[in-house]
Amino acid sequence: MDFFKYIHAVGTGPKGNRDLTLEESKDMMDQILNQSIPSEQSAAFLLGWRLKPETTTEFRGAIEACDAYIEKTTIANSLELGYPFDGKAKNPYIFPLVGKVLEESGLNLVLIGDELTPAKNGITIKDICTKIELNKNTHYFDRADFFPKMSDLTELRMKLGLRSGFNTIEKLPRVANSEYAITGVFHKPYVKKYVEIFSDRYKRFALIQGNEGTPELFSKGRLWISNGGDVDEIIVDPANYGINYTKSWDAITLEDSLNQLNNPSDEYMKLAKLNAAVYLFVTENAASIDEAWEKLN
């Protein structure tokens, strides 16, 4: 279909806008990924789509289009971690330490990274995974290798400088055919949307009120588990496990982030164990977070 029709659907204002069908969304995404249209048209659509805003059907259609271009490598007994591609700006990552804690459990962690995308301007998963030795159960996939068509759009997205629908759909490409997945979410209203978009792609899908939108718990927050049509909510408070870690509100450098991973404090290691316990629960390797915590201690 003429791509201008999609721009018209999202860019004519509240009275003239309309939602795309599933098939239209797949075609839209195909044209953007293949760069068969001018970059200006792609940018115009992404901006209008964000403002319209996007629907669950549109997201699902876009994801279906992406699936056709992703080169997958199956990793058994794995949990896919859905991180934002705009990075973390104020706190270090904790997943390398979580991987170490989980090594004897047999659970594999799957992470996806690429160059920075808008809009946080933080330290990326790629920054960490290319500068630190990961445990054998922590698997990093670079999007430039397994999904180059999306990676090739990074420059355009940086020129646009704003979040877009891509920020939502790109977190969980299911590159390792993982049966389990967890991603971070800022606000509770987004839980329902993420569940509608992603839950049927996994045996068990979870969301967590994680640090800076990541699937990493640094302070008291909520964990949501999708069970069919229902969503169970669990409050997780590090203080209940004797953890007194204080998260940062200041900007962090890559050097500082790597240093805290290479020389973790006792409290940071306790926090890593709690995150590991959450992941064991999500992947049905424990009946509860408390049970998993006891196993790890």
pLDDT tops 90 at residue 187: no
Kindly state the average pLDDT of the residues 135-158.
Answer: 98
CA distance 150 to 136: 27
Question: What is the token pair recorded at 46?
Answer: 């992404």
Are 124 and 116 a contacting pair, CB within 8 Å? yes
CA 205 from centre of chain: 12
CA distance 115 to 154: 7
Question: What is the token pair recorded at 243?
Answer: 């953890």
CATH 3.40.718.10 assigned to domain 78-296? The reply is no
pLDDT digits (tens, 9 = 90+) for 266-287: 999 999 999 999 999 999 999 9
Residue 271, pLDDT score: 97
Alpha carbons within 13 A on the beta-carbon side of 250 = 5
Task: Annotate 170-236 with DSSP letters as a single string.
Answer: TS---TT--SEEEEE-SSTHHHHHHHHHHGGGSSEEEEE--GGGSS---SSEEEEEEETTEEEEEEE
Residue 188, pLDDT score: 79
Are 26 and 65 a contacting pair, CB within 8 Å? yes
pLDDT digits (tens, 9 = 90+) for 96-110: 999 999 999 999 999
pLDDT tops 80 at residue 228: no
pLDDT tops 90 at residue 8: yes
Question: What is the token pair recorded at 293?
Answer: 């915590």
**Architecture of domain 4-67 in CATH?**
Up-down Bundle (1.20)
What residues does each domain of the chain span? 4-67, 78-296
Kindly state the average pLDDT of the residues 180-192.
Answer: 91
Place of tokens 């289009």: 65
Place of tokens 């403002």: 51
Residue 61, pLDDT score: 98
DSSP label at residue 238: G
DSSP H helices, the chain, are 4-11, 22-33, 39-51, 56-67, 95-101, 125-129, 143-146, 148-151, 154-160, 166-169, 189-198, 254-262, 266-282, 289-296
Residue 189, pLDDT score: 82
Residue 70, pLDDT score: 98
Residue 296, exposed/middle/buried by CB under 10 A (0-12, 13-18, 19+)? middle
Question: What is the token pair recorded at 118?
Answer: 């808008």
